[in-house]
Structure 1
């Protein structure tokens, strides 16, 4: 598949490519170009022309373009979801979830942009530099920030494309998308459809290649006015350091090691089933999935037993037939596919699975006990439950495992549960299970994270929320209330206009 630069589908300047591999079968699905510095320069130069063009398009015309895009999406639904499943090792459930959110994201951010209408300051409310403001018209207006670099991760490329590109386009920015190298194809097809729908090819572009190279070229270039990234904390810190040198904004949604706290007065069996379902969803490759299961000692045995029963019923997708899955589920709404109703998918690659395997081994070497799973087959990791986890172990603190692994950590008092939850360098999301709402609220206020759900998992996210984390989980927010991430605020004063 070709890059999309300045309205043209193009290979790299030197012809080099990167294979896109199905992690289940190890088959090469397609190739993508490995962009050169000259390719990146062409995209950056084009983006400045695209910015002028796209920012001048009225919102009512953007709305027509977006609605045309949604119709094209429906016409290409099976192809795109099938491509996503093959390149990601993903389940059809995951594909439908991402797919169905995209129109809502584009429509919602466009409605937010319609309300980004500035304001007039009340004349004469404070002294100006000459002591008088009564006759001055002071306006606050909003302008596109410029060219936005959207760096999209592998674990939810379609949905997170929507969260990054929809607000940037709605606000009139030009966008350069850096898709995940491992699974870029479905996302790139969506951008082709946006071109076909009417978004100019210099206002929305795609550059592909190894992130360590083209990412640095793009981030360090002053023609990139803002960066939005979902990715690892290591990469986020690197980008923040580059952007800080020129005081350019960046929104970073990074790693997490989210606590799932179960108090003894909770519905323990329901909590355990919820924990297993959402941790094993998408093979554990969800940034806001629960990752540390902090359970009061008086009910830990009951919780563990229920979790083990739940994970024992999970069917692995070693021989997943993508076409059969599509035939069975493509016409359904995502809400009809409850967790556990479809096959558990692989990780994004065998390399990723090996890393998870090593993290499991490290935890066992530190004294924890393997209760279920733990084995790897290619890019698959069996649903894994680990007991006797001490709060001092790496997995209980700063080691984020991006795979289907459930460490169970005991505690005696609610204060100890909060202490364990806050012992991590991360602070993305979390949850508290309890029948006592006041106690749940107290713990939620004391947990250091960008979101806490009482009696539900931290995977709770909707488009209206200002979504983002504390500490090393990132900076900046995503959601309809946060269009300010991709606009600039300007004050225009007409001195003496009201005389």
Structure 2
């Protein structure tokens, strides 16, 4: 059985509870993990608090070197970790390796930034005597990282990386269904020399472990990726203590394909952007608005690509030209997408293409493309967290932009066009945290990322993310006369 990592030690849950981790492709138990409680959170936060002075007191270059040692250990065991990720999450091995590489790149990025933190100097008015001011940067303290199931490593790295680089300590709460790769990575960092208590992991259910972590008075920073509903609950818990919070929440990213677009490139971008990871991504192509002039060409190309997907266990390869698509992570999410499709069809939508699945085991959902869905149907209004894509005809850019913004979400967006004026309008008018132009939806470590509206507050990625883990303190030096 896997164990919690608290204060550098592998330990069982204090209450003795356990949870199974199920392979979503086979429905077999991969392993069991401790079912943590508020007591385990208390111990982990105490360990993180106890390690804070030592870790924050290290030279930034030393922190970076220790982080890189951990990264190196993860690289050495990369295949093992990726296969573990496949078994607990379901994604194909190639996608798991890609996620691992993204995690490594992000952690490297923040290790490099550890020694780049800069303060400021300011000359001050002399009315109270000659003096000057400084702005120094101090770590926030103990940080909570609450991570979803869809990209357990990447989305942990976007939180743990800047936290450690800034001299903070961390308690990670992974998703109930995908804790194993996270625990293994944390163990490798500890073995590579990360001081005990700097990086802790507590597994368990959200209503108990997650809420106890967010509400703990010694946790000063909370970073969460997940659903909008849970994000609201986190804000409620953190608000009374004025914690620094960032929440990256659901999305319903619009894609606009214009008549002058490279249609083949747009098809490829939408295909990957929607169906990668079996559609389980908050940052993904979820609504496509195609100009009449290129609609038929776009749909023909899209169906040709989507029809190549073959459902199956992520540890097996599909024979070319087929492409492996793994299962969804749980029966609950599979059934939710199925109900969204059923509701859309009941209101007049039409299936343009849907794959097949004849197996008896696994949480598989065949990829589907639909058209004619009402814009107030669930597949549009809700976040569609699976391989289901609605496509819409539009007559002009005004209509496309209006429909793109007709959503409570505002995470990502994209436009495919060579028209610089249309690019400018999309960048300025689409209500989203990011807009890609002639490129698929992908989160770069080098750029800040986050949402607007119901897609959250705060930013991850980029040098800007480091500021969320640092406090700016003003210091006035007087007595210089």
Find out whether 1:116 has 2:117 as its counterpart: yes
Conserved? CA contact 2:307–2:355, under 8 Å? no
TM-score, normalising length: structure 2:
0.95
Partner residue in 2 for 1:314: 309
Other structure's SS at 1:315 match? strand
User: CA 1:299/1:325 → structure 2, altered by over 3 Å: closer, same or farther?
Assistant: closer
Deviations 1:176-205 (A, max 9, x none): 000111011011100001111111221211
1:101 Cα deviation (Å)? 2.2
TM-aligned CA deviation for residue 216 of structure 1: 0.9
For residue 461 of structure 1, report the CA deviation from its aligned partner.
2.4
Q: Does the 8 Å contact 2:61/2:115 carry over to 1?
A: no
Distance in 2, matches of 1:271 and 1:212, equals 41
RMSD: 2.0
Q: Deviations over 1:56-111 (max 9, x none)?
A: 12122222212222331232122111100111111112111111123322232133
Aligned partners of 1:40, 1:371: CA distance in 2, in Å?
49
In the TM superposition, structure 1's runs of 4+ consecutive aligned residues that sit over 4 Å from their partners are: 339-342, 374-377
Residue equivalent to 1:495:
478
Residue 353 of structure 2 corresponds to residue 372 of structure 1: yes
Offset at 1:340? Answer: 8.1
C-alpha distance in 2, partners of 1:414/1:365?
Answer: 29
Match of 1:447 among 421, 430, 436: 430
Unaligned runs of 5+ in 2: none
1:60 aligned onto 2:41? no
Is residue 464 of structure 1 aligned with residue 446 of structure 2?
Answer: yes
Candidates 342, 362, 366, aligned match of 1:361: 342
> 1:43: how far off?
1.4
CA contact (8 A) 1:91 1:342 kept: no
Pair 430,221 (structure 1): closer, same or farther in 2 beyond 3 Å? same
1:340–1:207 Cα change, 3 Å: farther
Q: Deviation per CA, 1:247-279, whole angstroms, max 9, x where unpaired?
A: 111111110000011112223343223212321
Match of 2:288 in 1: 293
Instruction: State whether residues 19 and 31 of structure 1, in contact with CA within 8 Å, keep that contact through their aligned partners in structure 2.
Output: yes
Hey, what's the Cα distance between the residues in 2 that align with 1:42 and 1:448? 42
Q: What are the superposed Cα offsets for residues 264-296 of structure 1, whole Å, 9 maximum, x if unpaired? A: 222334322321232111111121110001112
2:27 corresponds to 1:26: yes
Aligned counterpart for 2:191 among listed residues 196, 199, 221: 196
Q: Give the Å deviation of 1:374.
A: 6.9
Give me the TM-score of the superposition, normalised by structure 1. 0.91
C-alpha distance in structure 2 between counterparts of 1:119 and 1:219, whole Å: 32
What is the aligned partner in structure 2 of residue 331 from structure 1? none
What does residue 476 of structure 1 align with? 458
CA distance 1:340–1:401, shift in 2 (3 Å): farther
Contact 1:121–1:139 (8 Å) recurs in 2? yes
| Cα distance between partner residues in 2 of 1:460 and 1:44 | 33
The alpha carbon displacement at 1:342 in A equals 4.3
User: Residue 343 of structure 1 aligns to a residue in which SS?
Assistant: strand
Tell me which moved more, 280-289 or 15-24. Answer: 280-289
* Shift in Å, 1:375: 6.2
Shift of 1:231: 0.5
Kept in 2, the 8 Å contact 1:102–1:162? The answer is: yes
Partner residue in 2 for 1:88: 89
Aligned to 2:6: 5
Give the equivalent residue in structure 2 for 1:333. none
Q: Which position in structure 1 is the counterpart of 2:221? A: 226
Structure 1 Cα separation of the partners of residues 302 and 462 of structure 2: 36
Moved more, 270-279 or 92-101: 270-279
Q: Distance in 2 between matches of 1:380 and 1:393?
A: 23
